[in-house]
Amino acid sequence: FRCASIEKEQTLGIIKPDGLLSNYTDKIKNVILDSGFVIRNEVSLQLDEDSVRTFYAEHSSKSFFNSLITYMTSGPVLVMILEKENAVADWRALIGPTDARKAKITHPHSIRAMCRTNSEKNCVHGSDSPQSAQREISFFFKEKSAAVYVFLVLKYCP
């Protein structure tokens, strides 16, 4: 008998305003649950300009930044803590490439392909690394939330 441990990871997922407006929420949530994620916490809110500026600060010098702010403040979003083993990479794989038009061709089963809009309006967000996940989770949720933690599975322990 050896003690087995399962490493659970958390990532941040957001259904963006176009996703909520087009009523993709249930479809996206079904994909999330069917793919083995637990939705650990969720909150629906209307982002203001300052929040988007801070959240997407890494893009502040990009040509699309103002447009991204307009897009992300155009309606409510649904912010979720998603949890499973390898959550960060698995959620990024599930959402597909940034440009939803390309996603339709190269990743036809991805969430962004399902929403089929354009390079900006792509339905969902996903943290791009465990470090980003930790920062983004604490941006939206006050609870102490480690991005990675380990469960000991007691039934396998001697």
What residues does 79 pair with on adjacent strands? 14, 43
* Residue 54 touches which member of ligand RTP, Mg ion, none, C-beta under 5-8 Å by kind: none
Kindly state the number of chain residues that form the binding site for Mg ion, as judged by CB under 5 A.
1
* Residue 42 touches which member of Mg ion, ligand RTP, none, C-beta under 5-8 Å by kind: none
In the complex, least distance from residue 107 CB atom to ligand RTP, rounded to whole angstroms: 12
Q: Find out whether 126 and 92 touch, Cβ atoms under 8 Å.
A: yes
* Integer Cα distance of 91 and 41 in angstroms: 16
Beta-strand relationship, 148-153 and 77-84: unpaired
Q: Would you say 5 or 70 has its CB closer to ligand RTP?
A: 70
Active site residues: 125
Residue 2 marked ligand-binding: no
Ranked by CB distance to ligand RTP, the top (closest) residue is 98
Separation in Å, CA 36 to CA 33, 55, 82, 92, 143: 5, 27, 10, 14, 23
Q: Would you say 29 or 92 has its CB closer to ligand RTP?
A: 92
Residue 64 marked ligand-binding: yes
